[in-house]
Structure 1
Amino acid sequence: MVMVDGVPRYEVRLARAGEEDAICDVCREGFTVSSNGLLPTAAVERRAQQYYNPTRVRHEIATAGADLGWQGYVVAVSEAGGVLGAAGGGITDHTVGNVYVLYLNVALRGRGIGTALLDFVTQQQRSEGATEQWVSVTEGNDLGIPFYLARGFVVRDRVPFDVADDGTVGAHSLRMSRPI
């Protein structure tokens, strides 16, 4: 990997077929690390399998942009072709953008890659008329919450995230938004 001032050289673009395994790897790792101690291990494994399995991601890459509800995976890719991070979002209610996923290789935090991914998703949403952007972050996520707060998001609500079969709430999400 070519580094410039400690940052790998990369481009941010829409994901392509064949990148689904790498997207799943970076998202599973990011979700697992950011959920550590916040969600039961079984819940993390269940959600990681549900959202970050290659079959699902392959389909989501192939159908990106088919409707504004899912605008597609965006990736930060190194010059060597490795996926360093992935993000994705969509539009609801014509003016509301949602960030559904944003993870990167945890060893590369603090080097601007997450911001570049968020900026790409934000531009996608602005170009479709979105004027506000929302994201849900697990309460206590010391990686995600400061990232979004530093980019102008404000906590608006606290909602149940992980609900057990018996109806008990194991964790909450913070719903955050910002104007865009």
Structure 2
Amino acid sequence: MKKLIILLFFVFMIVPSVVSAHTSLSSSDPTEGQVVTENLEQITLNFATAIEELSTMELVKDGNKIALGEIKVENQQLIGTISDPLVNGSYTIQWKIVGEDGHPITGEINFSVQTAQNQPETNTVTPEENQGTQEENNQANSIEQNTASDTAEQAENNSSSNMLVIIAIILVVIFGIVLLLFTEKKKR
């Protein structure tokens, strides 16, 4: 019985290190839901641990890929250079990294661009009309940000749930093997 307790103790000590082996996005520039008002020259994604050279990213606007100049990996960073100035609109950064443990991890970051140089000239608008338009834009931006946050949370929850199921299966298998070994010893 002492051996079983010691074995289970070591299993529980090892499991947290296995779970923490996966890396995650710790910060980005631009951030989720950010409205970029100046010319964006590069995209920087920072991860919790080092990432492999196989890691990559794509910039998408309205379902179309925007060509990035160079994509490079620097330890814990994935950096993409933007060749041409981005036009106003909504963009999605789709990234796929390979962590130190070899597991691929994917994610998305949504942001929008609203620069003064890209905005068309507008007709004269009365303050009342302008206020209504601003309120509509604010509501639309709020909805987009909430949807993006919900999607990111859902992906993170799915990843955590999958990991917990895997850990539970491993523990059940280990417990079954130990139980089988003890019942065979008693039969002898």
How would you bin the TM-score normalised by the shorter chain? under 0.3
Larger Rg: 2
Question: What is the TM-score normalised by the length of structure 2?
Answer: 0.25
In proportion to residue count, which structure has more strand? 1
In proportion to residue count, which structure has more helix? 2
